[in-house]
């Protein structure tokens, strides 16, 4: 699960080595074009990603003994991440055309419901 | 004074004893061949009567009393003093005699040197008889009796026999024993004896003859038995005696050496006591099991539980006719079995509690249907078998360890995600109004 | 230009209301038809649990109902797989029992004291109504409501689904097909709208499905496959991302809550496809995001390369993990899906199950009837529009068809797809021919009045049909379909003139009449197959007397009842594993092996005991504390599903574990034939199974020719003898024979010689053991 994510994270420095301007322009473009609400989402995403990576490293390097706990913790990060990412695409004004049936309010309700279900299973699985 | 006491005690004990001495009953049928006189065995029979047995005599061809009536054994014990009898009444057939044993009736068989139904029956008990007409012969020690009348020292140590018995006079056939663990040999032939044709006795040729007749085997030596008990797996006991003379008054009174009476009377009484389940009779009164620190037996146990298994064993005491707690077994074992024993541990007697044997052990980490098995088999003693089935189950879903210290990063991770979700939702909803207004504004523009 | 006139004085709202009312009524009728056609089993026989597995489910449900859910969760069954026992809570899919338990508790809370058995018996018909509804919803997403109603009607009465859901067939499939269809519906809905809500619903129903049936792996692989195909077709959308990710994240985590599944979703290869697609979607989404912010062509190329390499790296990592043993490789059952000869070679226990055999072609026709050829047509129709959801059905059709060809059992997963595709095809056909517009070529010479008069009879005919077959609901659908298509014609393109179309009323009538006739035949076929082939409980057999009346053969229950009444409560009964659940359920006795074939060695042990000579089998029986041995013997009345016909599987399974002791070729004659008559091989004649089956069989014929009616062979007049077992019970028609295992001999002899002694045979004189040699 974290494999592809880790490798995409690795692809960034690789590209920056080739073209330092590109990463700069990417950052600039991101800052300019992204609404503040999406930035809120993105910061949450970064937090989840870091939390997930930390747990994955702990699992690999130290112990995976309560494997269900690891799966629950890691799964909650990944699940929350994708749900949040879904929310992000749904509320992104650029994608309006794709989501005709989903208004931003509806999107948040979906997101909240999905998250609550997810956390229910996470805590059931944790112990 | 002292004497009177003794006499009183004797009378008293006789009164009790006459009630019953065997653990299975006191009715006794003696099937006596008409060619034999009851008086010749009066010491033996009197001894039995004094012990409280009710003797009934019957000839082999008599129709009544039947040994099995309507599928129920009529007597608790049967003595077949019919070494030469070839024909019996209908009810006495080899199958019926085996059937008797299965009904917990004890039987004494006296064998002879002729081919009779009993000799063929003996082979069912893993006894291997010599060819007809070949009694035991020994030329040692030097004595005035015929070579077929042999004094046999009771060298075989069996707990059923009184210790320090004088040699026993014996006249009859020997037999080899098959490798059946249910056989309990009491008296073996002397080393220098052999089985041979007696009509033209003596000389070393007899041994060679015997060897040839026996084929590759040799009917000689101390591996031959002359008196052997047999305990069926249900606990019924049978006794095979190669010569009926062993029980006779003549042999009982005969001196072995000058001034030393033979051991016949006491030996006969001992083996009869064993056969009629007076001596070496044990039983399991009951067994319980429970978890450590509990008293009620569990209907199932969880893997890795510590359990206590205890069993209570009694021994029959023929002098008082009661069952008494018995702590004398030191080599008993308990097995905890599922297909194969998973645990085999000694089951020692508990100090201070007579008859109680107990052990504490940890149930293996394996679920399944287990059995507590006590299987105590020693030659001569009643076989003890006790088996208790109990399921061993894996821990319940809430019995596993929870909230391990190794997992705290995961707990933190999960909780922080949830907290993050809540904070994010609050922030989002808080920013919602502004956002939507701004969007509306944008649309308006 | 209209081929026939339409009423024009109906307001649109009236029309819409009427249409929805008719739809509801039709769905209600379809449900009624679906339920009632499944009640043949109850009508023809009685309200009884069928077959084998349902008996276990029933028993488990009773435990659940009487002891509560937590006890059920922790249920350790010491009477199964003696002496190993079975951790039931951790080795079953509890969804079915939980469903019945919930229904039971609700009914009792409402003071309706319904017997748990009746709930179990009627659960499958009840859920078939839900399945019809779910199929309607699903098909509605594919085309429109009319197709949905057709699909619902098809799935309601198609024999391929009825075969697993008649009343009393209380098996996991009873509810699983509903869950399967509803999960697919939610998935399609999520994909279409891009809503996380439907993704979550799909995940929840997926969870229910995981809890209910091992076939959930089908969903686990179908949805990723669909997503992957869409990716390859360049149809990636953010909706796909939302739908797939919300489904996968919640669905996977929830599926791991089921104890029997456990960590499999991250440990076994079967689930890796879903995980891989999940990772791939993350990468693609991330790449899309970056691309939307960056314009540099070079960077985009770089990104593309890195995405590809990441995907390759991910694949390599998975292969490595599999190699290292971290991820379990594909299981044997999976291989057997691709290589049909695999199971027979390596896992005979799987191959021995009749429903795992490849499907014979008549059974396609038997189970699907005319849908067999409507199905390809429907798939073709789907290709014409080929929206995202159509791709799904096409993939489903391809996979389903393949799997159904490999295993009879998987016909069940194909059936819903066939119904959906056929319904789409048929509804397309009817739409086309119902469309009143005519192509705009030349002058029309339609007689308006004539057409109106002929239209009325056609409608009347339809109505008549409805009256004639109200149970099936197909007639009703015809009616509705016609109404709807008229409406469609009215609403959509009244102005637009069609370039292609149908001329004349007669052509329309011919085609529509044929279609209606086909539908009628379909209904007749379904009813016939259901009542004759699929309603037998197999616990109770039926045969017909010479005068045509039905004769019930009730040997199984007779024998199980005998066991229940005449044996110790903890008596251990050994039988082949097919009858394990029934013995446990009906006789309530301890069994060695049962239909939950989790321990191959234990089954092989039973196989070895059955295929060995008595003296070899006896220690095995004693070791497992076996008191009774039960065999099924059909030779007397010609019941072909008996143990002698299954015997070779016992031999094969035993051979898999003890290749030195049991060899299959030994059980054939010199010519390689499987015979039971006097030419039978020695191993065959000595085997316990043979002896038990034919013990005293010859006596029945009183010296005449001894015929085995199943194998049509003549047996020797001198039947086999048994030394280690006693005949305890033989049922009326000899189908069930029960033998008691003898105790060890009193005198420590082997039972053969003990038996010889009891029968008065003379024993050979033995010699004393050689202790030393004679010096000659």
Q: Could you report the predicted ipTM of this complex, rounded to two decimals? A: 0.83
Residue of chain B with shortest Cα separation from A78: B417
Q: What is the mean pLDDT of chain A?
A: 76
pLDDT tens readout for residues C430-487: 888 887 777 765 544 444 444 433 444 444 444 444 443 443 444 444 444 454 444 4
Q: State the total domains in chain A.
A: 1
What pLDDT score does B199 carry? Answer: 56
Contacts across the A-B interface (CB distance below 8 Å): 80
Backbone angles phi, psi at C250, to 5 degrees: -75, -40
Q: State the total domains in chain C.
A: 1
Q: Give the whole-angstrom CA distance, residue C463 versus residue C476.
A: 8
> Is B123 within 8 Å of chain C by CB?
yes
| Cβ-contact B333, B345 below 8 angstroms | yes
What pLDDT score does C5 carry? Answer: 75
**pLDDT above 90 covers what percent of chain A?**
0
Which candidate, B396, B344, B336, places its Cα nearest to that of B370? B336
Please state whether the peptide bond connecting residue B141 to the residue before it is cis, i.e. omega within 30 degrees of 0: yes
- Contacting residues for C633 by C-beta, under 8 A, at least 6 apart: C642, C643, C644, C692, C693, C694, C734, C735, C736, C737
Which candidate, C738, C754, C734, places its Cα nearest to that of C746? C754
Residue of chain B with shortest Cα separation from C570: B389
Encode burial over B25-50: b for 16+ CB neighbours within 10 A, e otherwise.
bbbbbbbbbeebeeebbebbbebbee
> Is C292 within 8 Å of chain A by CB?
yes
Q: Which chains touch C (3 or more CB pairs under 8 A)?
A: A, B
Which of A44, A66, A77 is opposite residue B413, by nearest beta carbon?
A77
Backbone angles phi, psi at C476, to 5 degrees: -60, -40
Report residue C251 as tokens. 């669905």
**Averaged pLDDT in 10-residue chunks for chain B of 445 residues:** 54 49 85 87 90 88 84 89 86 87 90 85 86 82 83 82 86 87 89 72 60 58 87 90 89 83 88 90 91 87 91 89 89 91 92 91 91 90 91 83 75 86 85 48 37
Torsion-angle region of C749 (φ positive above 0: left; ψ -120 to 50: alpha; else: beta): beta
Question: Looking at beta carbons, which residues of chain C come within 8 Å of A24?
Answer: none
| Cβ-contact C660, C733 below 8 angstroms | no
Quick one: angle between helices C196-212 and A104-126, nearest 10?
30
| Cβ-contact C216, C209 below 8 angstroms | yes
What pLDDT score does A6 carry? Answer: 36
What pLDDT score does C102 carry? Answer: 92
Residue by residue, DSSP assigns C203-238 as: HHHHHHHHHH-TTHHHHHHHHHHHHHHHHHTT---H
Q: Is the pLDDT of residue C124 over 50?
A: yes
Question: Looking at beta carbons, which residues of chain C come within 8 Å of A86?
Answer: 196, 199, 241-242, 245-246
Q: How confident is the model at residue A5 (pLDDT cuts 50, 70, 90)?
A: very low
Question: Looking at beta carbons, which residues of chain C come within 8 Å of B392?
Answer: 85
* Residue B78: strand pairing partners: B29, B107
Q: Give the whole-angstrom CA distance, residue C618 versus residue C723.
A: 10
Q: Give the whole-angstrom CA distance, residue C622 versus residue C101.
A: 39
Which B residues 282-301 touch C at CB under 8 Å? 300
- Contacting residues for B210 by C-beta, under 8 A, at least 6 apart: B134, B194, B195, B196, B197, B218, B219, B220
- Residue C720 is part of which domain span? 553-758
Quick one: angle between helices C172-193 and C238-255, nearest 10?
150
* Residue C738: strand pairing partners: C630, C729
- Contacting residues for B205 by C-beta, under 8 A, at least 6 apart: none
Which candidate, C729, C656, C737, C653, places its Cα nearest to that of C689? C737
Q: Give the whole-angstrom CA distance, residue B115 versus residue B189.
A: 21
CA neighbours closer than 13 Å in the CB half-sphere of residue C571: 24
Which of B176, B182, B217 is opposite residue C747, by nearest beta carbon?
B182
How close A127 comes to chain C (CA, Å)? 11
Which candidate, C553, C691, C707, places its Cα nearest to that of C631? C691
Domain membership of residue C100 (yes or no) is no
Backbone angles phi, psi at C593, to 5 degrees: -135, 150
Report residue B313 as tokens. 């064993």
| Cβ-contact B79, B108 below 8 angstroms | yes
Q: Are strands B27-32 and B77-81 parallel, antiparallel or unpaired?
A: parallel
- Contacting residues for C716 by C-beta, under 8 A, at least 6 apart: C677, C678, C698, C706
Domain membership of residue A46 (yes or no) is yes
* Residue B289: strand pairing partners: B309
Question: Looking at beta carbons, which residues of chain A come within 8 Å of B424?
Answer: 40-41, 44, 84
Q: How confident is the model at residue C544 (pLDDT cuts 50, 70, 90)?
A: confident
- Residue A110 is part of which domain span? 35-126
| Cβ-contact C469, C523 below 8 angstroms | yes
3-state SS, residue C437: strand
Which candidate, C319, C317, C215, places its Cα nearest to that of C269? C319
Domain membership of residue A8 (yes or no) is no
pLDDT tens readout for residues A20-53: 666 777 777 777 777 777 888 888 888 888 888 8
3-state secondary structure labels for all residues of C324-368: HCCCECCCHHHHHHHCCCHHHHHCHHHHCCHHHCCCCHHHHHHHH
Torsion-angle region of B218 (φ positive above 0: left; ψ -120 to 50: alpha; else: beta): beta
What pLDDT score does C443 carry? Answer: 46
Which candidate, C559, C560, C626, places its Cα nearest to that of C593? C626
Question: Looking at beta carbons, which residues of chain B come within 8 Å of A37?
Answer: 428, 431, 435
CA distances, C505 to each of C17, C422, C455, C464, C516 (Å): 29, 25, 9, 20, 16
Residue corresponding to tokens 């299987």:
B375
> Is A37 within 8 Å of chain C by CB?
no
What pLDDT score does C133 carry? Answer: 93
Which candidate, A13, A85, A3, places its Cα nearest to that of A48? A85
Domain membership of residue A25 (yes or no) is no
Would you say how long chain C is, in residues?
A: 776
CB within 8 Å: B176 and C768: yes
Give the range among B309-318, B387-396, C37-46, C729-738 with minimum mean pLDDT: C37-46
Domain membership of residue C434 (yes or no) is no
Region A80-107: what's the mean pLDDT? 81
Domain membership of residue C733 (yes or no) is yes
Q: How confident is the model at residue C674 (pLDDT cuts 50, 70, 90)?
A: confident
Domain membership of residue C444 (yes or no) is no
Report residue A16 as tokens. 């920056």
Q: Give the whole-angstrom CA distance, residue C127 versus residue C156.
A: 10
| Cβ-contact C61, C97 below 8 angstroms | yes
Q: Are strands B237-241 and B106-110 parallel, antiparallel or unpaired?
A: parallel
Which of C70, C83, C745 is opposite residue B338, by nearest beta carbon?
C83
Q: How far is CA B362 from the centre of its chain?
A: 29
Q: How confident is the model at residue C340 (pLDDT cuts 50, 70, 90)?
A: low
Region C352-367: what's the mean pLDDT? 80
C-alpha dihedral (C287, C290, C293, C296), degrees to nearest 10: -80
Backbone angles phi, psi at C713, to 5 degrees: -130, 155
Q: Give the whole-angstrom CA distance, residue C122 versus residue C166.
A: 8
3-state secondary structure labels for all residues of C489-528: HHHCCCCCCCCCCCCCHHHHHHHHHHHHHHHHHHHHHHHH
Specify the CATH number for the domain of residue C636.
3.40.50.12610
Which candidate, C161, C159, C168, places its Cα nearest to that of C53? C168
Question: Looking at beta carbons, which residues of chain B come within 8 Å of C774?
Answer: 211, 216, 218
Query: Of residues A7 and B220, which shows the higher confidence score?
Result: B220
CA distances, B258 to each of B254, B261, B281 (Å): 10, 8, 37
pLDDT tens readout for residues C574-591: 999 888 899 998 888 999
| Cβ-contact B122, B175 below 8 angstroms | yes
pLDDT tens readout for residues C85-94: 888 888 888 8
| Cβ-contact B397, B297 below 8 angstroms | no
Domains of chain B: 18-275 (3.40.50), 282-393 (2.60.40.1930)
Q: What is the mean pLDDT of chain C?
A: 82
Query: Of residues C600 and A102, which shows the higher confidence score?
Result: C600
Backbone angles phi, psi at B231, to 5 degrees: -110, 120
> Is B414 within 8 Å of chain C by CB?
no
Q: Give the whole-angstrom CA distance, residue C293 versus residue C314.
A: 26
Q: Is the pLDDT of residue C492 over 50?
A: no
Q: Which chains touch A (3 or more CB pairs under 8 A)?
A: B, C
Q: Is the pLDDT of residue C371 over 60?
A: yes
Which pTM does this prediction carry? 0.81
Backbone angles phi, psi at C695, to 5 degrees: -60, 120
> Is C200 within 8 Å of chain A by CB?
yes
Domain membership of residue C364 (yes or no) is no
């Amino acid at each position: 699960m974290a494999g592809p994510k880790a490798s995409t994270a690795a692809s960034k420095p690789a590209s920056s080595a080739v073209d330092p301007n590109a990463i700069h322009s990417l950052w600039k473009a991101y800052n300019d074009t992204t609404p503040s609400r999406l930035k809120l989402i993105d910061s949450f995403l970064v937090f989840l990603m870091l939390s997930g990576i930390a747990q994955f490293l702990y699992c690999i390097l130290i112990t995976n003994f309560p494997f269900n706990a690891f799966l629950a913790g890691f799964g909650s990060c990944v699940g929350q991440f994708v749900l949040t990412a879904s929310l992000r695409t749904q509320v992104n004004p650029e994608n309006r055309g794709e989501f005709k049936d989903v208004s931003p309010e509806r999107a948040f309700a979906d997101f909240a419901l999905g998250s609550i279900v997810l956390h229910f299973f996470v805590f059931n699985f944790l112990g | 004074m002292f004497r009177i006491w003794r006499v009183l005690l004797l009378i008293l004990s006789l009164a009790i004893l006459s009630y019953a001495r065997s653990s299975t009953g006191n009715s006794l049928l003696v099937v006596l061949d008409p060619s034999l006189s009851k008086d010749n065995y009066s010491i033996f029979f009197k001894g039995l009567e004094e012990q409280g047995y009710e003797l009934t005599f019957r000839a082999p061809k008599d129709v009544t009393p039947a040994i099995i009536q309507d599928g129920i054994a009529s007597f608790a014990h049967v003595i077949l003093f019919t070494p030469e009898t070839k024909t019996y009444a209908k009810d006495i057939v080899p199958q019926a005699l085996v059937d008797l044993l299965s009904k917990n009736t004890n039987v004494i068989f006296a064998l002879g040197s002729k081919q009779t139904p009993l000799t063929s029956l003996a082979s069912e008990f893993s006894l291997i008889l010599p060819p007809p007409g070949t009694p035991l012969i020994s030329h040692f020690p030097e004595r005035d009796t015929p070579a077929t009348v042999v004094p046999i020292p009771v060298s075989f140590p069996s707990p059923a026999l009184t210790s320090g018995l004088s040699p026993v006079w014996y006249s009859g056939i020997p037999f080899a024993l098959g490798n059946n663990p249910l056989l309990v040999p009491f008296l073996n032939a002397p080393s220098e004896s052999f089985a041979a044709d007696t009509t033209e006795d003596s000389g070393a040729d007899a041994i060679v003859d015997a060897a040839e007749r026996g084929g590759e085997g040799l009917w000689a030596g101390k591996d031959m038995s002359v008196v052997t008990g047999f305990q069926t797996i249900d606990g019924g006991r049978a006794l095979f005696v190669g010569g009926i003379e062993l029980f006779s008054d003549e042999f009982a009174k005969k001196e072995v050496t000058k001034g030393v009476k033979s051991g016949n009377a006491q030996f006969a009484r001992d083996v009869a006591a064993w056969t009629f389940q007076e001596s070496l009779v044990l039983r399991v009164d009951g067994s319980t099991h429970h978890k450590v620190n509990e008293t009620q037996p569990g209907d199932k146990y969880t893997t890795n539980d510590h359990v206590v298994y205890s069993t209570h064993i009694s021994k029959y005491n023929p002098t008082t006719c009661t069952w008494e707690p018995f702590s004398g077994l030191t080599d008993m074992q308990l097995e905890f079995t599922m297909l194969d024993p998973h645990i085999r541990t000694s089951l020692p007697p508990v100090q201070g509690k007579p008859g109680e044997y107990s052990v504490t052990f940890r149930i293996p980490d394996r679920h399944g249907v287990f059995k507590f098995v006590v299987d105590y088999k020693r030659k001569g003693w009643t076989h003890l078998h006790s088996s208790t089935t109990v399921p061993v189950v894996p821990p319940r879903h809430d019995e596993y360890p929870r909230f391990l210290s190794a997992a705290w990063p995961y707990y933190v991770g999960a909780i922080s995600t949830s907290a993050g979700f809540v904070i994010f939702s609050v922030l989002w909803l808080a920013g919602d109004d502004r956002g939507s207004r701004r969007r509306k504004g944008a649309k308006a523009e | 230009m209209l081929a026939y006139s339409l009423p024009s004085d109906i307001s649109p709202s009236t029309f819409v209301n009427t249409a929805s009312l008719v739809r509801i009524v039709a769905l209600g009728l379809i449900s009624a038809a679906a339920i009632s056609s499944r009640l043949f089993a109850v009508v023809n026989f009685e309200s009884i649990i069928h077959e084998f597995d349902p008996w276990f489910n029933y028993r488990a449900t009773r435990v659940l109902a009487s002891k509560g859910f937590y006890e059920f969760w922790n249920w350790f069954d010491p009477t199964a797989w003696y002496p190993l026992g079975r951790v039931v809570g951790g080795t079953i899919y509890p969804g079915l029992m939980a469903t019945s338990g919930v229904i039971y508790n609700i009914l009792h809370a409402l003071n309706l004291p319904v017997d748990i058995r009746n709930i179990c018996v009627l659960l499958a018909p009840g859920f078939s109504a839900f399945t019809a509804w779910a199929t309607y919803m699903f098909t509605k997403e594919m085309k429109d409501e009319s197709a949905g109603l057709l699909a619902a009607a098809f799935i309601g009465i198609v024999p391929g689904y009825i075969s697993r859901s008649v009343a009393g067939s209380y098996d996991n499939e009873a509810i699983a097909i509903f869950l399967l269809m509803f999960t697919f519906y939610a998935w399609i809905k999520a994909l279409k709208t891009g809503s996380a809500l439907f993704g979550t619903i799909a995940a929840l129903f997926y969870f229910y499905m995981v809890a209910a049936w091992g076939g959930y792996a089908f969903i686990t692989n179908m949805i990723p496959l669909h997503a992957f195909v869409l990716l390859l077709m360049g149809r990636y959308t953010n909706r796909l991302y939302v739908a797939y990710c919300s489904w996968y994240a919640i669905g996977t985590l929830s599926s791991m809550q089921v104890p029997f599944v456990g960590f499999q979703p991250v440990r076994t290869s079967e689930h890796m496809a879903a995980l891989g697609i999940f990772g791939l979607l993350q990468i693609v989404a991330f790449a899309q995001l970056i691309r939307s912010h960056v314009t540099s062509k070079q960077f985009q190329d770089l990104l593309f390369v890195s995405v590809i390499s990441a995907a390759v790296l991910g694949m390599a990592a998975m292969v490595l993990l599999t190699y290292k043993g971290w991820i379990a490789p594909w299981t044997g059952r999976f291989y057997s899906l691709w290589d049909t000869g695999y199971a027979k070679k390596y896992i005979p226990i799987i191959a021995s199950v009749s429903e795992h055999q490849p499907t014979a072609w008549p059974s396609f026709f038997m189970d699907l009837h005319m849908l067999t050829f409507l199905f390809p047509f429907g798939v073709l129709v789907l290709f014409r529009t080929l929206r995202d959801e159509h791709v799904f059905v096409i993939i489903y059709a391809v996979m389903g068809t393949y799997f159904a060809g490999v295993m009879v059992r998987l016909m069940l997963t194909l059936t819903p797809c066939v119904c959906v595709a056929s319904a789409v095809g048929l509804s397309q056909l009817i739409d086309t021919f119902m469309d009143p517009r005519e192509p705009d070529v030349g002058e029309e010479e339609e007689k308006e009045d004539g057409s109106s008069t002929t239209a009325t009879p056609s409608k009347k005919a339809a109505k008549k049909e409805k009256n004639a077959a109200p149970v099936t609901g197909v007639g009703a659908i015809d009616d509705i379909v016609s109404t709807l298509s008229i409406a469609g014609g009215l609403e959509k393109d009244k102005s637009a003139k069609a370039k292609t179309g149908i001329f004349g009323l007669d052509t329309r009538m011919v085609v529509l009449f044929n279609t209606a006739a086909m539908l009628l035949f379909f209904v007749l076929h379904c009813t016939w197959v259901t009542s004759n082939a699929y309603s037998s409980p197999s616990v109770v057999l039926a045969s017909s007397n010479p005068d045509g009346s039905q004769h019930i053969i009730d040997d199984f229950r007779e024998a199980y009842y005998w066991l229940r009444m005449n044996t110790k409560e903890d008596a251990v009964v050994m039988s082949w594993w097919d009858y394990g659940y029934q013995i446990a359920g009906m006789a309530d006795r301890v069994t060695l092996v049962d239909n939950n074939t989790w321990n191959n060695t234990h089954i092989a042990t039973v196989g070895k005991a059955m295929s060995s000579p008595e003296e070899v089998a006896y220690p095995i029986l004693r070791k497992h504390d076996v008191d009774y041995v039960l065999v099924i013997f059909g030779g007397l009345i010609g019941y072909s599903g008996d143990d002698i016909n299954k015997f070779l599987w016992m031999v094969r399974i035993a051979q898999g574990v003890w290749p030195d002791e049991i060899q299959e070729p030994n059980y054939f004659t010199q010519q390689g034939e499987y015979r039971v008559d006097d030419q039978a091989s020695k191993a065959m004649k000595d085997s316990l199974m043979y002896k038990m089956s034919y013990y005293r069989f010859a006596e029945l014929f009183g010296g005449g020719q001894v015929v085995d009616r199943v194998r049509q062979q003549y047996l020797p007049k001198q039947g086999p003898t048994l030394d280690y077992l006693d005949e305890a019970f033989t049922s009326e028609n000899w189908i069930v024979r029960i033998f008691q295992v003898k105790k060890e001999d009193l005198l420590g002899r082997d039972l053969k010689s003990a038996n010889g002694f009891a029968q008065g045979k003379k024993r050979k004189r033995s010699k004393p053991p050689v202790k030393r040699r004679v010096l000659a």
